[in-house]
Amino acid sequence: MAAARIGQSIIRAWRTRFSAGNGRSYTPMINFRAGNNFSSGPRSPEQLMGELRVVLTSKEMQGAQELSNEWFALADKDRSKSIGPDEFRGLMETIGLSLQPAESDALFGVFDPRKSGEISYTEFTNTLRGEMPKFAASLAFMDQYTGHYPSAMASLRRVQPRFDAAETDEWLESLEAVLSHHGPTRARFLIHELMDEAVRKGVPISSSITTPMCNTIPTDAEPKYPGDLAMENRISNLVRWNAAVMVSDGNKRAAGVGGHIGTFASMCDIWEVGMNHFFRGKAYGGGMGDQLYIQGHAAPGAYARAYLEGRLSLDHIMNFRQEVKGGGLSSYPHPRLMPGFWENPTVSMGLGPLQAVCQARFFRYLHLRGLADTSASRVWCFIGDGEMDEPESIYAIARAGYERLNNLIMIVNCNYQRLDGPVRGNSKVIQEFEGVFRGAGYDCIKLIWGDTWNDLVDNDHDGRLIEVLERTPDGDCQRYAAKQDGRLIRAEIFEANGLADRVAHLSDDELLSAFMIPGGHDHKKIYAAFAQAEKNAESGGRPTVILAKTLKGFSLATFQGRNTVHQQKSLKEEEMLSFRDVLNIPLTDEQIKNPKGGDFFRNPGPDSLEVQYMKERRAQLGGFLPSRTPAKTSTLVDLPGPDTYTLFDKGSEKPMSTTMAFAGLLRKLMKLGDFGKRCVPMVTDEARTFGMNAFFHEFKIHAPFGQHYTPVDHDILMKYSEAPDGQILQEGISEAGALCTWIATGTSYSSQGCPMMPFFIYYSMFGFQRVGDIIWQGADARARGFLLGATAGRTTLNGEGLQHQDGHSLLIGLSNPAVIGWDPAFSFEVSYIIEHGINEMWGKDKDLIYYISLYNENHPMPALPSEPDFKENLLKGLYRLRAAKEGMAHTVRLIGSGSIMQQVLRAADLLEEYGVATEIWSATNYGELHREAVRVERQSRLRPHEPKPTCHVEKFLGGWDGVTVIASDNITAYPQLIEKYVGGELIILGTDGFGRSDTREALRRFFEVDAESVTASALSALSRQGKVPADVALGAMEKYGLTEDRPDITMDHEWQA
């Protein structure tokens, strides 16, 4: 085996090294120089090497394998990895290369340049292969031309149609003249202007994706600042101070609670300009204000502002990240923990941007369907430049672009730093992001330079300074900020590039000050960028991004810009004193050194000019933010009556699946007037799989720009129909995007006071397993709605194989406290579970998520059982479907759920052949049975003086000394949640292990959840209890072909196919 692998590596290496032609080939073949054995004199080493390669490659793998087998056979004789000259000659003879003694010595010498007298196998193969070619993609790509015809394709341009060739040549000559006399920066400026003018004139060309590294809005185009700059600077300093001290104080009093100082310090000025002039509160009109998605690590800044506004007390901010006793503040934006304050969770990384995009899209959906006026509601999303590496962030950008979400404004906080070091130390992250956003169709506003440094850029008459700034890597810019040395900046940026005269009028301190106040800390320039973004939102047709250059840890002199800033959790005494002086905070040394009751937090009081100014600005903009004001759905919406859910009560002899039952009920709900309009079916390009293609024509797919093509199925009834007011959300193949849209839908009762009920149906494997983090985000956001895990079951989705077959989503879902997971077996169970969910979420205003497993196996559906209180017990998670027949010698209990209930019912018939009666139970929710049992156990533990209470499972299954068999299409750990509460002998059958493709019958036999396995398990347990002879159980196993041996290629590592 080792020799074969080495032989394969030789062939691959040679074929990669040598090509068939003179040039490089992407499918290289060997073309060694030929040789022969009939030369008149001794062959040269070069000739011999050529012949050796021909011998090996002419036999394909056989030659290489012969050589490697023989080599290691020789080497193993003396336990060596090397061979000598005599062995080498014999080896060459073995593979078909005859050598004279002199020739053998000469060829051996080629492989033994060290003259050691022996050759290792590695030396042999490396020499034979030759020098490795350079990897195609080197760092040279950083300087490559990337236009329509890149350098590797430049020859193509010459043969493209050029229309008037002479005129074309004149334009090209003009470009050459500009380059010769004024340089590339001037040429680039002219081309950008030409392209922009062409676009304005209606010429259908794409604009350049990057522009020079300048502020997008020139100084002379900035609008007049409408506020009191001095006042707002004082407010920013107060907020920045309190945010930093909050984290520091929290960690000093409760070591290890964590928090982040540097992030908000970098975005404070942007946040404050937005709060004072742009962010619309809930009472603004035209919707319920703007939605804010703040960087999670910047949460202390929102608390610090709310403290000044009087919304949070000193006790609140002195209990940052200390929540157990109540009155504390959550680590990040968590509506589940602070339901009246936070509205949008933004941690984990990347989920905030994607959620913001889907929120903006859903606002438009509500407006186009006439359900809510969202015309004045925008979505502002703050993103860290390091967070842009998350795939969700990149997908969010693309989606907002092709959806043309002009109500979305993204702000990328470009402080050049991730948690450990620079984001792009070797390049320019702002330029990179500009290309990404502009390429996706955004209006891009670059906010790079503060006022003084921008003067230098504005006066760059020949573009040389801009060239230098574009060549200076971000890693060096970070170093300049951390070193805080004006002389260093002068030397490396200006003097080293012959630009010393540009800053001769500035002292080193003035130059440093200019560099250390980039655009993201200049209120006037921030305002100009925001004003343009707001204009775009009102009249443009695209989303906007602001790329803001900031400094991480801004104004914190001892660690701003350093790689360690993200880990800074507390301030030393001298750091606080320095920070106070920089921000001009009116606190004495004594108040900082010996604080009493939070003296070092600075709040000038409700009557101060600063606080009055803040409140006046927020009043004009519609109220405080962030703020969450959920509507009381129970008083707004009339819920469907009980008769709505009885359509499956009588059962059906015609086979159907629980997936079809859901589709039938959903269609009925969607036709119920006002309630029906609030139902939002969602799919990820799988509606036909779930039997919902009939919805297309009736309810239409939401398409904001309409349907401007004739669908291929336009001439049939169930055609693919799109419309701006379409009700169905067809999300494309993106579970992550669909889940974020689901969250936007499920939180609409809060964001817009417009309750909407989302029904998202998808392949169950691609829910909790694939996007479980986003479902946690939904729970945190207090979303309400239904998740339908269709094609569920490890043996029910039979042909799809390992990656699709789900048997664990219900168990994973149980880890989320807001998720209620169901595993219905019958259509009436599906109907009553959905009724229960609607009543809980909208009738009782509970922030819950109902997850329902749906199966695609068709079978007859029974009518409602006659058991009293069956519906109440069904909704608790367990009810008796059928009592045992009387008059039989033994009785066992069989518990089924989902599609495996059919195997349980068939097992009951098989057991009758052995004289065993069966009591059939349906377990609709093992998770809730477990949660209720845990609550009862806690109550019992804390009330030892009272009689011990009994949980639901124990009430029905505890007082039993017989046999109980549970079978499900889930892994056994899920039903095992109730194991300790079941009396007697309990057997649990499940689908543990990897899935695979086959028929349902074969899969169920493999996982031992078929009717025969249930039957044999019941008889085996009865025999262990001494109620039937062991021969009866063994006979049943033999009859059904059940054996202990079960080979499994996925886990039996020595098993070969």
Residue pair 798/969 in contact by the 8 Å Cβ criterion: no
Residue 859 has pLDDT above 60, yes or no: yes
Higher pLDDT: 594 or 378? It is 378
Q: Find, among 241, 239, 242, 238, the residue nearest to 318 by Cα.
A: 242
- % of the chain exceeding 90 in pLDDT: 66
Residue pair 593/262 in contact by the 8 Å Cβ criterion: no
Residue type at 116?
S
Q: pLDDT tens digit string along 288-324? A: 999 999 999 999 999 999 999 999 999 999 999 889 9
Q: Give the pLDDT confidence score for residue 133 in this predicted structure.
A: 59
Q: Say if strands 408-414 and 544-549 run parallel, antiparallel, or are unpaired.
A: parallel
Q: How far apart are alpha carbons 301 and 299 in whole angstroms?
A: 5
Q: Find, among 957, 953, 963, the residue nearest to 986 by Cα.
A: 963
Q: How far apart are alpha carbons 120 and 77 in whole angstroms?
A: 14
- CA torsion sign for 805, 811, 815, 817 is positive
Residue 562 has pLDDT above 90, yes or no: no
Report which DSSP code applies to 939: H
Backbone phi and psi for residue 786, each to the nearest 5 degrees, phi listed first: -115, 135
Q: pLDDT tens digit string along 669-722? A: 999 999 999 999 999 988 888 888 889 999 999 999 999 999 988 888 888 999
Chain centre distance of CA 288: 28
Q: Give the pLDDT confidence score for residue 1053 in this predicted structure.
A: 66
Q: How far apart are alpha carbons 939 and 256 in whole angstroms?
A: 33
The residue count of the chain comes to: 1057
Asked which of 10-24, 197-211, 522-536, 690-704 is least confident by mean pLDDT, the reply is 10-24
At residue 763, the 3 state secondary structure works out as strand
Q: Say if strands 82-83 and 119-120 run parallel, antiparallel, or are unpaired.
A: antiparallel
Residue pair 571/245 in contact by the 8 Å Cβ criterion: yes
Q: pLDDT tens digit string along 777-806? A: 999 999 999 999 999 999 998 878 788 899
Report which DSSP code applies to 422: B
Q: How far apart are alpha carbons 524 and 224 in whole angstroms?
A: 8
Residue pair 270/526 in contact by the 8 Å Cβ criterion: yes
Residue 146 has pLDDT above 70, yes or no: no
Helical segments of 637-684, H only: 658-670, 673-677
Residue pair 426/473 in contact by the 8 Å Cβ criterion: yes
Residue pair 730/702 in contact by the 8 Å Cβ criterion: yes
Higher pLDDT: 824 or 41? It is 824
Q: DSSP labels for 499-539?
A: -GGGGTTS-HHHHHHHHTS-GGG-HHHHHHHHHHHHHHHHH
Q: Quote the Cα angle for 61-65-67, to 5°.
A: 125
Q: What is the mean pLDDT of residues 1005-1034?
A: 97
First to last CA, the chain: 17
Structure confidence at residue 161 as a pLDDT band (50, 70, 90):
low
Residue 132 has pLDDT above 90, yes or no: no
Residue pair 396/533 in contact by the 8 Å Cβ criterion: no
Residue 36 has pLDDT above 80, yes or no: no
Structure confidence at residue 2 as a pLDDT band (50, 70, 90):
very low
Structure confidence at residue 345 as a pLDDT band (50, 70, 90):
very high
Q: Give the pLDDT confidence score for residue 6 in this predicted structure.
A: 41
CA distances from 344 to 258, 398, 428, 619, 850 (A): 21, 21, 31, 22, 21
Q: Quote the Cα angle for 338-339-340, to 5°.
A: 95
CA distances from 592 to 580, 610, 1007 (A): 9, 22, 68
Residue 827 has pLDDT above 60, yes or no: yes
Residue 1038 has pLDDT above 90, yes or no: yes
Q: Give the pLDDT confidence score for residue 39 in this predicted structure.
A: 47
Structure tokens at 835: 């009724």
Q: pLDDT tens digit string along 633-669? A: 999 999 999 999 999 999 999 999 999 999 999 999 9
Q: What is the mean pLDDT of residues 454-467?
A: 92
Residue pair 774/970 in contact by the 8 Å Cβ criterion: no
Q: What is the mean pLDDT of residues 738-745?
A: 97
Q: Which helix (H) or strand (E) covers residue 76, if one does?
A: helix 61-77
Q: Which helix (H) or strand (E) covers residue 923, if one does?
A: strand 916-923
Higher pLDDT: 166 or 315? It is 315
Write down the residue that tokens 């169709």 correspond to.
Answer: 441
Q: How far apart are alpha carbons 110 and 108 in whole angstroms?
A: 5
Q: How far apart are alpha carbons 657 and 1030 in whole angstroms?
A: 38
Q: How far apart are alpha carbons 1018 and 611 in whole angstroms?
A: 74
At residue 291, the 3 state secondary structure works out as strand
Residue pair 446/576 in contact by the 8 Å Cβ criterion: no
Structure tokens at 580: 């106070």
Give yes or no for a cis peptide into 339 (omega within 30° of 0).
no
Structure confidence at residue 1040 as a pLDDT band (50, 70, 90):
very high
Q: DSSP labels for 828-866?
A: HHHHHHHHHHHIIIIIS----EEEEE-----EEEPPPP-
Helical segments of 78-140, H only: 85-95, 101-111, 121-129
Residue pair 802/996 in contact by the 8 Å Cβ criterion: yes
Region of 404 on the Ramachandran plot (φ > 0 left; ψ -120 to 50 alpha; else beta): left
Q: Give the pLDDT confidence score for residue 13 in this predicted structure.
A: 43
Q: Find, among 673, 863, 685, the residue nearest to 761 by Cα.
A: 685
Q: Give the pLDDT confidence score for residue 596 in this predicted structure.
A: 81
| CB atoms closer than 10 angstroms to residue 895 | 26
Q: DSSP labels for 431-490?
A: HHHHHHHHHHT-EEEEE---HHHHHHHHT-TTSHHHHHHHHS-HHHHHHHHHHT-HHHHI
**CB within 8 A of 41, min separation 6: which ones?**
none
Q: What is the mean pLDDT of residues 70-96?
A: 75
Q: What is the mean pLDDT of residues 37-58?
A: 78
Q: Say if strands 443-447 and 379-384 run parallel, antiparallel, or are unpaired.
A: unpaired
Q: How far apart are alpha carbons 744 and 783 in whole angstroms?
A: 8
**CB within 8 A of 34, min separation 6: which ones?**
50, 51, 54
Instruction: Please state the pTM of the whole predicted model.
Output: 0.86
Write down the residue that tokens 């009293």 correspond to.
Answer: 868
Residue 1057 has pLDDT above 70, yes or no: no
Burial class, 479, CB count within 10 angstroms (exposed 0-12 / middle 13-18 / buried 19+) = middle
Q: pLDDT tens digit string along 583-639? A: 999 999 988 888 887 888 999 999 999 999 999 999 999 999 999 999 999 999 999
Q: How far apart are alpha carbons 715 and 695 in whole angstroms?
A: 16
Q: How far apart are alpha carbons 236 and 248 in whole angstroms?
A: 18
What's the alpha-carbon Rg for the chain, to the nearest Å?
36
Structure tokens at 520: 């993201």
Structure confidence at residue 91 as a pLDDT band (50, 70, 90):
confident
Q: How far apart are alpha carbons 429 and 549 in whole angstroms?
A: 10
Q: How far apart are alpha carbons 753 and 767 in whole angstroms?
A: 28
Bridge partners of 445?
546
Average per-residue pLDDT for the chain: 88
Bridge partners of 408?
379
| CB atoms closer than 10 angstroms to residue 874 | 26
Q: How far apart are alpha carbons 624 and 618 in whole angstroms?
A: 6
Bridge partners of 417?
422
Q: DSSP labels for 788-799?
A: EEES--TTTS-S
Q: Give the pLDDT confidence score for residue 14 in this predicted structure.
A: 42
**CB within 8 A of 491, min separation 6: which ones?**
none
Q: Find, among 391, 389, 430, 435, the residue nearest to 413 by Cα.
A: 430
Q: How far apart are alpha carbons 855 and 898 in whole angstroms?
A: 7
Structure confidence at residue 78 as a pLDDT band (50, 70, 90):
very low
Q: Give the pLDDT confidence score for residue 600 in this predicted structure.
A: 86
Q: What is the mean pLDDT of residues 112-140?
A: 72
Q: pLDDT tens digit string along 381-409? A: 999 988 988 889 989 999 999 999 999 99
Write down the residue that tokens 């899920």 correspond to.
Answer: 974
